[in-house]
Structure 1
Amino acid sequence: MHITGTTRLFFCIADPIDQVRAPEVFNSIFARHGIDAAMVPLRVPAARLEATLRALLESPTVGGVSLSIPHKAAATAIVDRPSAAARAANAVNAVRRNAAGEFEGELFDGLGFMRSLDRAGIAYAGRRVLVIGAGGAASAVTTALAASGVGEIALFDPDREKARQLAALLRRDFGIAASDAPSNDPAGFDVIVNASPLGLKSTDPLPVDVARIADHAALCDILMKNQPTPLLRAARSRGLVAEPGFDMLILQTPLYLDFFGYPELAESVRAEDSYLRALLVPQALRAETASDLPG
């Protein structure tokens, strides 16, 4: 990577930061296509999010910011123009400054997640879905699921109030059967989604009891660090369909590129993204994940 005074910079902001994969993806794309741009990971504590966003986006050198844990929900109160998807989920994962100086916020996680289900052949229409977590990632996933015709959504989070609030939002905005689950028991659900940080640390407990998952059910663990996670391994050892979060990131990357002003580059990535899967997916998973399915 050759950075000069003309390089257009993008930032990926999170706290912690070591689990993020977006900089690898974007820098690989920029290098492959000879684009004078780079994405830099930046650890920013929650208390400094607004000040950091405003400082970065004041610079004409900075083309935009990608947001990860735990900033997606907080960013909705900072941006001036959140998209419809961002408003629905109360979460933002991309911010740019427009010509008028306003901050525009977008949310691509939900669409990336739905496209990853389609690529993996996981049925969701009319199905019962259990989502572990009620933060920004869970908001994006559940609003996209609700808009795509699932039958029921149950949310489990140790913070019951967060789960109640998200369930209420889903009922109000989508008219879907949504509830805060009293436990993380996956029995009776068709699709189980881990949208929590559980699995980032080797000492974390499993988000659900895999032995309780129905034989026909599918599991999605949207984490991209420490894959295959203990949850993914346990599910696959039972012969269940179990997918990591790599395609969720890969399939939303063209949306980011459009948003950041690279429409032709976005089309190139839509047409060919196998090199991104080779970059992200660990060797142990490549032969058995949806990354080997045709795009």
Structure 2
Amino acid sequence: MTTFDAPSALGEDQLTALLQSLPRLEELTVRVPSFGTGRWLRLLPTSLRTLYVAGPEVTKPRWPGRYGSGLSVSLQGVAADTISHLATELGSRITLLVTDAQITTIPSQLRGAIIRVEPDTVILPAGVGDSELTELRNSRKTVKRLSVSAADLPRLRGQLPEGLKRLNIRGPEVTEPRWPEWNPLVRGLSVSLQGVAADTISHLADLRRTVTLLEIYDCNDLTTGSLEPLTRLVKSCRQLCVLYLHCTADTGRAVLTALKEADLGRDSDGQPRTICLRVPEEMYCQLKSQASYRVWVYEWED
């Protein structure tokens, strides 16, 4: 037997016994059990390639499709703790996770998997290869939010989905992607950087996309002495109009000074270009008096 649809009325002991009797199972559909221990997950046979877990109200199942040689999992209409059980019991076996539950933290056991949060979000693991790029291309028309590791950014040149609105670029220690704000009135791409090296900023200009908003978090080596990648970005991305900056006060002052001294050129309408610099409250109190008619300073209400 390669496919089995487990009835929702099964108890934990019955489901456990059933799984032990199906050593060659490849596809399994389970209505989310009333019990929540997740013990049955550790009994899934190594032959399993596709697992679909549905909540009690789901009427139109969405299979994830198979990806790679590991386990592809689809969760629909289930509680968020099911993801924790999956990570704990199945760990690195999972290569693709599709869910309609909003994920705020990536469990460490799932950092090697593609996570697709329905209907429009994809979180790619570090170490993007041809198979991950193929999966991304297959989702080009629906993806509006994408999170990638900083090390993989150069590989994404020319590969970003057509309808992408928000791009999160994360460093190796980041487990909670922070999605940038997006203004539907401003065309272009909103980008957030988390825990990355300053030179990551330089790669944004190579994405062949118009970056209009940039948020920078925890970029520790973006200091008063290493602003070149940021000033370079401002000059090359002529549509960049909003910069959110979470940094030290000294770096904030240096960024403001550099922006005021930079040749900002003109916007697409031929008007003198302006940039809105948003900073945390305590920094805003120090910098607001230093704003100019080309570089505005506002409080970042995070």
Alignment TM-score, normalising by the size of structure 1: 0.30
User: Which structure has more helix as a fraction of its residues?
Assistant: 1
Find the structure with the greater CA-based Rg: 2
User: Which structure has more strand as a fraction of its residues?
Assistant: 2
More contact order relative to length (CA 8 Å, sep ≥ 6): 1
Alignment TM-score, normalising by the size of structure 2: 0.29
